[in-house]
Structures are given as structure tokens and as C-alpha cells.
């Protein structure tokens, strides 16, 4: 190139270009190079854009799917199950680490306000990070079901009933709602009714009938009651109830667990903390977020409820196969809901059971003024606000990707 250039001085310190094509060649080469780079960049850019688009779509899809499952997981039966038909709730936006986010809208779809099965349409919109890039929609149909297995007496018992009259025990089947510390407003959804105080099997002996009251009669003999069908509730049984348990205390057969009363707690966001094993609801504090929390509690061994505490829920005492797990009230403990025990129910003190009990073996009420008071309100709230009413996706074709 230098050979093609002629340069002469026309004065001190000045250079004059006389011609040549080095500059033109350099420009041409640069243009070529730019074309190559631009082509490569275009190709790479296209691939990058496509890849980013695919990733955005995948992020949107999984964000939306997470939204549906989070709504199902965080289901609050006391709110969602009681939406009126056509009622709507919104959840989100929630953004995940990494940028995906979702918005979920839930709609109660159904005809009857008091239907025992309730359908919910849950629609989620998933979005990737960035403005409106690759939004995807999906939906699922879920159904909540209100169980109907309770109750046909304040106590259903298979074994013997021991009521020491000197201790003034009471088994009351007639209505006395609202129970304990609850108000009439709490029980407004559940008109009271009355039942027999005791429903018992053919092998049962009862030492004292005067302590039992109910309607239309204090006691009812039910020859169909056996040890094996005691917890046969149609679609549900004891084992399937265990599968719904919120809290499980695996103390082991023959071992005894003592519980001195619920200690309701809340999460950082102010919601009832359902992961706290000491939280068995807040039955005596209507303003507490856990007032509507009725956990299903499973204890595999013996359980003693001690002191002046209280709790609520559905209490399952005993393992799947063992028959030697007792539930025992010791002191002025109040329980609101249902108690199902694989062995005995003993009430030794001034405690109260508001709701109903299913006792596979013996019922013993010792010491002073123990009471079992049937409460439709307590039983229904325990059933309808418990995990049993959490929705399940409909079988086979619940999930759909929307267009």
C-alpha cells in the first residue's frame, strides 16, 4: 500500500496526499467486515430472540400453574367455601424469584347456595419478567365437598358406659347452642337440632341412665353398631380421615401425650399459622385469625387434655390398627368439635366436649361434673371448616390450557 502512495512535502511539516486506493480498499474491507458481522449478529439475534421467547413462555406457563396450586394449597375454607354462586376472589400478583408472576381469579360456579358440593373455576394468568411478553392462561375446576357423616347422637359408643352419678356427669343431646364461649352469630348458619344423648350397641352396658338426656329419647339402641363399622362413614372412614390430618403426633401405641390447651399463633402476614403443632384453633377468641381454624388432629397413642385450656377441631385418637389409645379429659378442659377414639373416652374433671364423640370402646365419666353437650353448631363448623372440605381437582379433565 505504501508503494502506491506518493507523498511530498509542500512546506515545513505538511503532507500532501497525491492519490492511491488504500483508503478505498480499507473502506471496502470495512464494509465487507461490517456485512459479515451484521449477518452474524442478525442470525445470532434471531436465535436469541426465539430462545428468549421460548423461555418466557415456559416461565409464564409454570408461574400460572404454580398460581393454581398455591390457591389450592392456601385455601381458606371459612372464606372460599362460603362464597355465593358467582362470587369471585382474586389472588396475586405474586412474583417468583427469577421473575415469573401470576394472577389468579377464582369463581364459585354452581347453582345452590347451600349445596354440599361446590365447584370452583380457577383461572391463572402467568407472566414472564418484562412487559407483556409471552403471557399464558390456564384454568382448573376444583370441587369442595361438605361431609355429612355427623351426627346421630351426642355420643356413639360400642363399649360400656360408666357414669358415676355422685359426680354429676351429663350427656346432653338436646340443643343448647351456641356452645360455650361462642355467640349466636357464630352459629347463624347452623340451625340447632336435638339428638339422642347416647347411641349404643348390643354389647353395651350403661350403669346410670339418669345422667343422659336427649331427643326424641335419651338413649337409642343400635344393634348395627360393631367394633369394625364404628367409623364407617360411607365415603370416609377412620383411615381416610387420618389422611386429611393437619397435625399428626406419632407418640406410639401405649405412650401418652399431654396437651394443655391450644396456643393459637399467626404467620408474619397475620394469617392463622396452620403449621404450628401447638395451634389447635382459637375457640374462645372470635377475633383471632384462628377462630375458624378447625384442624384435624391425629394422635397415635393416648391423649390427655389437661388444665383449663381449650381446643377445637376433629380429634382422632388411635392409630390405624391399634385399639388401645384412650382420649382423656383431666381438668376443666373444653373441646369444640368431634372426638373419635379407637379405645376409651374418659372425662375426669369439669371439662366439656361441645360437639359429639365416637367411642370404639368404653365411655367413662368420673370426677366432678364432666359434660358432653351435643352441639350441631360445633359439629358442623368442625366438619365444614376443616381440611375435609379442601377442594380437589375434578377427576380426569380438571386442568385446561386456555387459548
Partner 1 sequence: MKSRRPRPAGGFTLVEVLVAMTLTGIVVAGTLRALSAQKKFYARQARILDARHAMRAATTILASELREASPGGGDLYAVAADSVAIRSTVGFGVACAVNEAAGQLALIHVSGHFRLDAGDSVVVFVENGEPDSDDAWRALGVSAIGTTGPACAWGTPSERLISVSGSLNGVWVGGPVRLFRAYAYAPFQLEGRWWLGRRDRSEPDYVPVAGPLAPPDSGGLQFFFFDPNGNTTLNPSQVARVSITVRAPTYRSLSDPAYQSLSTSAYLRN
The CA angle 124-129-133, to the nearest 5 degrees, is 75
Q: Does 43 bind partner 1 (CB under 8 A)?
A: yes
Q: Does 4 bind partner 1 (CB under 8 A)?
A: yes
Taking the complex as a whole, the smallest distance from the CB of residue 273 to partner 1 amounts, in Å, to 31
With b for 16 or more beta-carbon neighbours within 10 A and e for fewer, the 69-108 pattern comes to ebbbeebbbbebbbbeeeeebebbeeeeeeebbbbbbbbb
- Contact mark string toward partner 1, 127..146, x via CB under 8 A: ----------x-x-x---x-
Taking the complex as a whole, the smallest distance from the CB of residue 269 to partner 1 amounts, in Å, to 30
Taking the complex as a whole, the smallest distance from the CB of residue 100 to partner 1 amounts, in Å, to 18
Q: How far apart are CA 343 and CA 241, in angstroms?
A: 17
Q: Work out which of 7, 25, 38, 221 binds partner 1, going by CB under 8 A.
A: 25
Q: What are phi and psi of 80, to 5 degrees?
A: -75, -40
Q: Residue 180: left (phi > 0), alpha (psi -120 to 50), or beta?
A: left
Q: Does 54 bind partner 1 (CB under 8 A)?
A: yes
- Establish whether the linkage from the previous residue to 93 is cis, with ω within 30° of 0: yes
Taking the complex as a whole, the smallest distance from the CB of residue 85 to partner 1 amounts, in Å, to 4
**85/307 with CB nearer partner 1:** 85
Q: Does 235 bind partner 1 (CB under 8 A)?
A: yes
**138/325 with CB nearer partner 1:** 138
Considering only residues 145-164, where is the footprint of partner 1 by CB under 8 A?
Answer: 145, 148
Q: What are the angstrom distances between the C-alpha of 212 and each of 10, 73, 349, 357?
A: 130, 42, 17, 14
* Dihedral, CA of residue 231, residue 234, residue 236 and residue 239, to nearest 10: 50
Taking the complex as a whole, the smallest distance from the CB of residue 125 to partner 1 amounts, in Å, to 12
Q: Work out which of 15, 27, 45, 46 binds partner 1, going by CB under 8 A.
A: 46
Q: β-strands 219-221, 198-200: how paired?
A: parallel
Taking the complex as a whole, the smallest distance from the CB of residue 57 to partner 1 amounts, in Å, to 9
| Residue-wise DSSP of 118-148 | EEEEEEEEEE-SSSSSS-EEEEEEEEEE---
**43/95 with CB nearer partner 1:** 43
Q: Which residue in 272, 287, 281 sits closest to 314, CA to CA?
A: 281
Q: How far is CA 37 from the centre of its chain?
A: 58
Taking the complex as a whole, the smallest distance from the CB of residue 121 to partner 1 amounts, in Å, to 5
Q: How far apart are CA 231 and CA 399, in angstroms?
A: 34
Burial of 192: CB neighbours in 10 Å, binned 0-12, 13-18, 19+: middle
Taking the complex as a whole, the smallest distance from the CB of residue 395 to partner 1 amounts, in Å, to 6
**14/397 with CB nearer partner 1:** 397
Q: Does 121 bind partner 1 (CB under 8 A)?
A: yes
Q: How far apart are CA 122 and CA 107, in angstroms?
A: 6
Q: Does 119 bind partner 1 (CB under 8 A)?
A: yes
Q: Work out which of 7, 26, 50, 243 binds partner 1, going by CB under 8 A.
A: 50
* Dihedral, CA of residue 47, residue 49, residue 51 and residue 55, to nearest 10: 180
**91/119 with CB nearer partner 1:** 119
**117/271 with CB nearer partner 1:** 117
Q: For CA atoms 191, 243, 342, 254, give the dihedral sign.
A: negative
**38/188 with CB nearer partner 1:** 38
Burial of 215: CB neighbours in 10 Å, binned 0-12, 13-18, 19+: middle
Q: Does 26 bind partner 1 (CB under 8 A)?
A: no
Q: Does 116 bind partner 1 (CB under 8 A)?
A: yes
Q: Which residue in 244, 185, 245 sits closest to 381, CA to CA?
A: 185
Considering only residues 362-401, where is the footprint of partner 1 by CB under 8 A?
Answer: 394-401
Considering only residues 73-112, where is the footprint of partner 1 by CB under 8 A?
Answer: 84-86, 107, 109-111
Name the residues that contact partner 1, by CB under 8 A. 3-4, 25, 28, 32, 35-36, 39, 43, 46-47, 50, 54, 84-86, 107, 109-111, 116-119, 121, 123, 137, 139, 141, 145, 148, 234-235, 394-403
Amino acid at each position: 500500500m505504501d508503494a502506491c502512495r506518493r507523498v511530498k512535502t509542500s512546506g515545513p511539516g505538511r503532507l500532501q496526499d497525491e492519490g492511491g486506493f488504500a483508503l478505498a480498499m480499507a473502506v471496502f474491507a470495512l464494509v465487507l467486515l461490517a456485512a459479515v458481522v451484521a449477518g452474524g449478529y442478525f442470525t445470532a439475534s434471531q436465535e436469541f430472540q426465539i430462545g428468549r421467547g421460548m423461555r418466557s413462555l415456559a416461565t409464564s406457563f409454570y408461574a400460572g400453574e404454580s398460581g393454581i396450586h398455591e390457591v389450592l394449597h392456601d385455601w381458606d375454607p371459612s372464606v372460599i367455601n362460603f362464597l355465593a354462586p358467582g362470587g369471585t376472589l382474586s389472588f396475586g400478583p405474586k412474583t417468583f424469584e427469577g421473575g415469573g408472576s401470576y394472577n389468579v381469579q377464582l369463581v364459585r360456579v354452581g347453582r345452590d347456595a347451600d349445596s354440599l358440593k361446590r365447584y370452583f373455576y380457577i383461572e391463572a394468568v402467568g407472566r414472564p419478567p418484562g412487559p407483556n411478553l409471552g403471557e399464558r392462561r390456564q384454568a382448573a375446576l376444583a370441587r369442595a365437598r361438605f361431609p355429612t357423616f355427623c351426627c346421630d347422637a351426642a355420643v356413639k359408643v360400642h363399649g360400656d358406659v360408666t357414669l358415676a352419678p355422685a359426680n354429676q356427669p351429663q350427656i346432653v343431646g338436646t340443643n343448647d347452642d351456641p356452645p360455650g364461649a361462642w355467640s349466636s352469630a357464630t352459629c347463624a348458619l347452623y340451625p340447632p337440632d336435638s339428638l339422642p344423648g347416647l347411641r349404643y350397641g348390643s354389647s353395651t352396658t350403661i350403669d346410670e341412665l339418669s345422667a343422659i338426656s336427649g331427643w326424641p329419647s335419651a338413649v337409642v339402641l343400635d344393634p348395627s353398631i360393631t367394633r369394625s363399622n364404628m367409623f364407617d362413614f360411607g365415603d370416609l372412614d377412620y383411615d381416610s380421615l387420618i389422611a386429611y390430618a393437619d397435625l399428626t403426633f406419632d407418640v406410639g401405641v401405649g405412650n401418652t401425650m399431654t396437651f394443655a390447651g391450644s396456643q393459637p399463633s399467626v404467620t408474619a402476614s397475620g394469617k392463622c399459622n396452620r403449621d404450628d403443632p401447638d395451634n389447635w384453633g382459637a375457640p374462645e377468641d372470635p377475633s383471632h385469625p384462628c377462630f375458624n381454624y378447625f384442624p384435624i388432629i391425629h394422635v397415635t397413642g393416648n391423649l390427655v387434655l389437661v388444665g383449663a385450656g381449650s381446643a377445637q377441631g376433629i380429634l382422632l385418637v388411635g392409630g390405624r390398627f391399634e385399639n388401645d389409645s384412650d382420649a382423656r379429659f383431666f381438668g376443666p378442659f373444653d373441646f369444640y368439635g368431634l372426638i373419635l377414639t379407637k379405645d376409651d373416652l374418659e372425662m375426669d374433671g369439669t371439662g366439656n366436649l361441645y360437639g359429639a364423640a365416637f367411642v370404639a370402646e368404653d365411655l367413662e365419666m368420673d370426677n366432678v361434673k364432666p359434660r358432653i353437650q351435643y352441639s350441631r353448631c360445633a359439629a358442623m363448623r368442625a366438619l365444614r371448616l376443616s381440611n375435609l372440605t379442601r377442594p380437589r381437582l375434578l377427576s380426569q379433565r380438571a386442568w385446561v390450557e386456555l387459548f
